[in-house]
A = this chain, B = another copy of it.
Amino acid sequence: MEIEAPRRRSDDTRAAILRAARDRFAAEGYERATIRLIAREADIDPSMVMRYYGNKAGLFAAAAEFDLRMPDVSYAPREHVGVILVRHFLDVWEDDEAFTALLRVGVTNPAGAEKMRGIFRDQLRPLAESLNPDPEEADKRLAFVASQMLGMALSRYVLRLPPAVDLTRDEIVRWLAPTIQGYLTGEAPPSPPPEDAGDDGALPARTE
């Protein structure tokens, strides 16, 4: 299924640009990763970026092309999907900084956020639907899964909260897998007690 690409003489340059772009987008976010900076890191002229990728948005689109390679969990024991998925996501994050880049950019840039929603829609949703017949409920459950996994990625790889950085891979799997498993296949939790019981009702206020 490989497309016979006409090997161009500029392929090295293109690849260098893409590598530098991923690196800078991941480290700096969209706005601060300037074309000049990326070009300098790739050791080429800034105008080359324009020639090969049109404009900055095009460069980002190319750099953030990203496949989660979600495993097919429909053949795995249903009670193992939590462990499988958490491990898989850890692999993805640590193997490829494109995801960190995407996360960073998605937070500040509308195009990045849209790309993120696209990944959710096209790569994550099918998996959830393979586990749950009702598509609406699958979506809901998947939202919680995404929140937990994205939150760990955010804490650990972007914000670098010290205790999240210090966690070992095994600790993360141990604690997160049951959560993910519950979100995907557990029964819906019961309604909590009504709002006014227990909580002190205090609204947060600014320090001044």
A residues with a Cβ closer than 8 A to B are 28-32, 65-69, 71, 76-77, 80, 83-84, 87-88, 91-92, 95-96, 98, 103-104, 106-108, 113, 116-117, 120, 139-140, 142-144, 146-152, 154-156, 158-164, 166-167, 170-171, 173-179, 182-183, 188-193, 195, 198-200, 202-208
Contact = CB atoms under 8 A, between A and B. Distances in A.
Q: Find the residue from A116, A164, A195 having the highest chain B CB count within 10 A.
A: A164
Nearest to A198: B80
A68 B151 contact: no
Copies in the complex: 2
Nearest to A167: B143
Given A83-B193, A202-B69, A207-B65, A147 B146 contact: no
Contacts of A149: 151
B147 A199 contact: no
Contact of A154 (B88, B107, B117): B107
Given A98-B206, A146-B164, A174-B192, 9 more contacts: A69-B203, A71-B202, A80-B198, A96-B204, A96-B206, A107-B158, A147-B156, A150-B154, A150-B159
What 7 pairs between A and B have smallest CB-CB spacing?
A: A151-B151, A29-B108, A31-B31, A143-B163, A69-B204, A147-B151, A139-B163
A87 B80 CA distance: 31
